[in-house]
Structure 1
Amino acid sequence: MLATQRGDDHDDSAHAPVRQPARVHGRRDEPMTDVDQLQDLIRSFLRDPFGANGEQAPGWIPAADIEETDDAYILELDVPGLKREDVNIELRDSEVRIRGEIKEKERTGLLRRQTRRVGQFEFGMTLPGDINPDRVDATLRDGVLTVRLGKATASQPRQVQIKD
């Protein structure tokens, strides 16, 4: 219920002014770019808040899907424009770290707008189980990097028989 300027509490909604939506300031053509950059910054800060590892922070973190099957973890990262020679996949125990760089295209004209991601990126995570290093492979196809990490035998589910 809206109160009128007279200060009483009866409903004057028929005479109330129509509220206009708040105007958002900033670039109207790229609203999600700023949100994506903020999310990347927050993720980077949460991983290494004080830059303790002494390395330069990556420019961005690729979008990823992580799937767990009975025998593997499957990571799919969106990295359009990435070349095989520009990516490094490192495994340590149950941790996987993927670093790379999408190089900016050389241009002859004036770049008026750029929304594609370029530069260094990093994706890292600790998996809930151990990885068998002999059962790891990666493919890069149609802008998607797929890394299949086979589970160690001890990490795979198994049936337990109940004894009398």
Structure 2
Amino acid sequence: MTLPVRRRPGSLPERPFSGFGWGEPVAAEFDELFERMNRLLEGAATAPAALAWSPAADMRETDNAYVIEAELPGIKRDDIDIEMSERELRITGEYQERAREGTVRRSTRRGGRFEYRALLPADLSPDEVSATLHDGVLTVTVPKAQATKPRHIEITES
């Protein structure tokens, strides 16, 4: 399926690079792909979701629950919000930078709003979700419903 290509004057060279011996058709396809990617990235940069960062997190499944561990160092418990809908877990909040003296010469810490979303399988107990924050790691435990727990079935002789 081909889509129309919108070209802006001066955005790309008049003649695509064809030094790889692929010829004009392949170079034109790459030209079109790069243009589409640029438009996509320009649109994403202005979206509100682009302003939020996502913390590093692990999700694991036990026999009784799903456990999500998210790294949120330096973030206070009151600055974190956890919401659970039918199947979606959403962790949001904001890292408040502390006041500093002097001029910051280099900073690699993330700041501002953050958001983590996880879509969990069905048959959960959303009313029994629990969360703890210890040493900068937020642990959210989402119990499974009783019907989804695996059980061992004994085989008897007939």
Give the conservation status (yes or no) of the 8 Å contact 1:65–1:76: yes
2:48 corresponds to which of 56, 62, 67? 56
Q: How do residues 4-153 of structure 1 correspond to structure 2 at under 5 angstroms?
A: 56-57=48-49, 58-153=51-146
Give the partner amino acid of 2:144.
Answer: K
What corresponds to 1:159 in structure 2? Answer: 152
Instruction: Give 5+ residue unaligned stretches, structure 2.
Output: 1-39
Give the partner amino acid of 1:81.
Answer: G
Between the aligned partners of 2:123 and 2:85, the Cα distance in structure 1 is 10
| Per-residue deviation, 1:160 | 4.3
Deviations 1:98-127 (A, max 9, x none): 111111121121011111111100000111
| Per-residue deviation, 1:159 | 3.2
What corresponds to 2:15 in structure 1? Answer: none
The Cα RMSD (Å) is 2.3
| Per-residue deviation, 1:154 | 2.1
Give the conservation status (yes or no) of the 8 Å contact 1:93–1:130: no
Instruction: Give 5+ residue unaligned stretches, structure 1.
Output: 1-44
Give the partner amino acid of 1:131.
Answer: L
**Aligned residue pair count:** 113
| Per-residue deviation, 1:145 | 0.6
User: Normalization by structure 2: what TM-score?
Assistant: 0.64
User: Normalization by structure 1: what TM-score?
Assistant: 0.62
When you count helix as a share of all residues, which structure comes out higher?
2
Give the partner amino acid of 1:148.
Answer: T
Percent of aligned positions with the same letter in both sequences? 50
Between the aligned partners of 1:66 and 1:127, the Cα distance in structure 2 is 10
Between the aligned partners of 1:162 and 1:129, the Cα distance in structure 2 is 29
| Per-residue deviation, 1:71 | 0.2
Give the conservation status (yes or no) of the 8 Å contact 2:124–2:143: yes
